[in-house]
Amino acid sequence: MSFVPSLEETPQILELGVKLRESVLEPMKQAFVGKDEIIDLLGICLVARENLFILGPPGTAKSALVQQLARRMEGKVFDYLLTRFSEPNEIFGPFDIRKLRDGELVTNTEGMLPEATFVFLDELLNANSAILNSLLLVLNERIFRRGRETRHLPTLMVVGASNCLPQDEALAALFDRFLLRVRSDNVHQEQLASVLSAGWQLDTRRNDLTAEVTVEEIQRLNSLLAQVDLSGVQPIYVDLVHRLRHVGVAVSDRRAVKLQRILAASALLCGRLVVNRTDLWVLRHIWDREEQQDVLSAIIDDVLREATEEEVATSHPRSQDNDTPDAERLAAELERIADRIERGDLPKTDRAYIRDQLGLLAARCQWVREAQQQAHLETTVNQLLERLGAEA
């Protein structure tokens, strides 16, 4: 049965959002150097009860982050490395032999995914058809169904990880169930000493952690999502979805509806029951391809710049903190656009779309730190704009 807070309880529950940020997420940032962005997104997905996809190579603390978050709340974790040959029993549990003798098909879920509050699935995109349908139901509705057996799960969040993006069309539906996406890389060379020191502290004091926020408190915070007011930001959000679709970022109606939970979660983490413009920062993380990240950042940052002082004063810290653009990522997207222009025969609407996209990328190029890279990227943008103009 879901918990419905009374008017008297709402202010106390609302304080849990700030408590989560200050007592759990901020200490985790001290323990995991260079992972601030991922930790903030874990917090958002936890409050929204949604899923996060982490893209990155092995050894970049993906599993450790989820384990640490669960430990700070005394939550149950199910952590599993998927292979192409993984079977449903390995994730959901085998049939209970004792009940099978009596003709009942009941799953023994002890220690398995259906009993976990936190789920981490490594190499997620290895999921095969045998487990795909059950997994989709878990991700979308928090339900486990097997034959006549149906269970509502206590799962607060599922984190999936992979070192590549889906190539197989069959996995597109699985990837789509992860509303937010983020990269996890090895830290920069200048941060390595800090990583070693923080990692040693984390390893030697593993048993010193105490639960500052409980799973039950998070569940109570989840219950406030329905009370969050999105009306003030809805016109801006609708316009933003149209802009994102125009530049080639796929936002289906279903995803657009679900993303409102993410906006509401950002507000709750700031101690607000009203979503404002600054909460739109989370939409930087809805990319399907890595190259889209800079286009998304340019559009979202443009919207955030119009926030009022009052909105900024109560904003999520991540809304005011955006990383500098990645030169290689920009170059890859420009190369993709060049290939499309090279193929020729572009309809007028496509030329307009590409011109808008190049304008956004040009704005991002200005923030590239290395002068030679910046100059090369800006030259490439101008050349592509000239080619578009010549073909018009």
Q: Quick: pLDDT tens for 302-354.
A: 899 899 999 999 999 888 876 667 788 788 888 888 888 887 766 777 777 78
Is residue 177 a part of any domain in this protein? Answer: yes
Q: Which residues lie across from 218 on neighbouring strands?
A: none
Is residue 367 a part of any domain in this protein? Answer: yes
Is residue 213 a part of any domain in this protein? Answer: yes
Output the domain CATH number for residue 95: 3.40.50.300
Going by C-beta distance under 8 Å and a sequence separation of 6 or more, which residues neighbour residue 198? 30, 31, 32, 33
Same-domain pairing of 38 and 19:
yes
DSSP string for 194-226: HHHHHHHHHHHTGGG---SS-HHHHHHHHTTGG
Mean pLDDT of 35-40: 95
Could you list the beta-strand ranges (E) of 62-123: 77-81, 118-122
Same-domain pairing of 314 and 359:
no
Q: What is the pTM of this model?
A: 0.85
Same-domain pairing of 192 and 299:
no
Same-domain pairing of 65 and 202:
yes
Closest CA to 118 of 154, 87, 89: 154
Question: 66 near 42, Cβ under 8 Å?
Answer: yes
Same-domain pairing of 311 and 331:
no
Tokens 């007011």, residue? 229
Same-domain pairing of 163 and 79:
yes
Q: How far apart are CA 370 and CA 382, in angstroms?
A: 19
Q: Are strands 52-55 and 180-183 parallel, antiparallel or unpaired?
A: parallel
Closest CA to 237 of 280, 267, 269, 270: 280
Q: Give me the helix-helix angle, 327-343 and 371-391, nearest 10°.
A: 20
Q: How far apart are CA 75 and CA 68, in angstroms?
A: 10
Is residue 271 a part of any domain in this protein? Answer: yes
Residue of higher predicted confidence among 152 and 96 = 152
Question: 182 near 285, Cβ under 8 Å?
Answer: yes
CA distances from 229 to 40, 212, 257, 260, 302 (A): 22, 28, 14, 10, 23
Same-domain pairing of 147 and 269:
no
> Which band of pLDDT confidence, cut at 50, 70 and 90, is reported for residue 385?
confident
- pLDDT over 80 (residue 36): yes
Residue 337 lies in domain: 327-391
Cα 307 versus chain centre, distance: 23
CA distances from 145 to 89, 110, 131, 137, 334 (A): 13, 16, 11, 8, 45
Same-domain pairing of 45 and 167:
yes
Last residue of a domain, one of 320, 347, 381: 320
pLDDT value of residue 1: 45
Mean pLDDT of 7-33: 89
Same-domain pairing of 87 and 167:
yes
Same-domain pairing of 32 and 106:
yes
User: 150-199: per-residue pLDDT in tens?
Assistant: 999 999 999 999 999 998 887 888 999 999 999 998 877 767 787 777 77
- Domains contained in the chain, number: 3
- pLDDT over 70 (residue 131): yes
Least confident range of 51-55, 83-87, 146-150, 195-199: 195-199
Q: In what order do the strands lie in the sheet containing 180-183?
A: 77-81, 118-122, 157-162, 52-55, 180-183
Is residue 282 a part of any domain in this protein? Answer: yes
Mean pLDDT of 53-59: 93
